[in-house]
Amino acid sequence: MVTIELLKETDINTILEWNKNRSVDFLLQWAGNGYSFPLTEEQILTKIVHKGEINDTHNIIFKIKEVSGNMIGTVELSKINRKKKQAWVSRFLIGDERNRNRGYGSEALREVICFAYDKLDVEDLFLRVFDFNVNAIKCYEKAGFKRIETVEKVRKTAGGFWNVYVMERKM
């Protein structure tokens, strides 16, 4: 079982460690244009704008914790629009590869969905996922997200171009 909590400044080193000795493509895959390579503490600090208060922010960063209390990932609700009752799930990462494909992502996603619906009164959630990320796509579909658009050649990488799916989940 996993839980989500607001990310704190003391959690930044864990995220940096997960990205240590990784490629620009690795960062691009989980963070999109949200961060630039190489990832630094300062970049993450600028994103922690909620400072524990969620009422007036457009982005909320969560840490994902396993039952033992260890931080195993991070996920954001971004582009929160209270008038349109919409938000985006973004920058979703299970940091240590040993924790991937164990159901933690699905559990964390359920927690984020519940938070968005219950605490933010969101009715529509969106996300973007690269078309080659089959495990993530399965996780999102299992949680009720449907593909609504394909954007081709959205990212140029060292290995060519990546396509992205835009997915939506309605309350």
Question: Which parts of the chain fold into alpha helices (H)?
Answer: 12-19, 24-31, 41-47, 104-119, 134-142
pTM of the model: 0.90
What is the rounded distance in angstroms from the CA atom of residue 17 to the CA atom of residue 96?
A: 9
Direct distance between the N- and C-terminal alpha carbons of the chain, in angstroms, rounded to an integer: 23
pLDDT for 29-72, tens place per residue? Answer: 899 888 999 999 999 988 876 554 555 568 899 999 999 999 99
Q: State the greatest distance between any 2 C-alpha atoms of the chain, in Å, as a whole number.
A: 41
Whether 164 is covered by a domain: the verdict is: no
What is the rounded distance in angstroms from the CA atom of residue 60 to the CA atom of residue 88?
A: 10
Whether 170 is covered by a domain: the verdict is: no
Find the domain containing 42 and state its range.
2-122
Whether 59 is covered by a domain: the verdict is: yes
**What's 34's DSSP letter?**
G
pLDDT for 51-61, tens place per residue? Answer: 545 555 688 99
- Looking at the 3D structure of the chain, how many domains does it have? 1
pLDDT for 91-127, tens place per residue? Answer: 999 998 888 889 999 999 999 999 999 999 999 999 9
Whether 156 is covered by a domain: the verdict is: no
Whether 90 is covered by a domain: the verdict is: yes
Whether 133 is covered by a domain: the verdict is: no
Sheet holding 71-81, edge to edge: 2-6, 60-66, 71-81, 86-94, 124-130, 160-170, 146-157
Whether 40 is covered by a domain: the verdict is: yes
Whether 87 is covered by a domain: the verdict is: yes
CATH number of the domain residue 48 falls in:
3.40.630.30
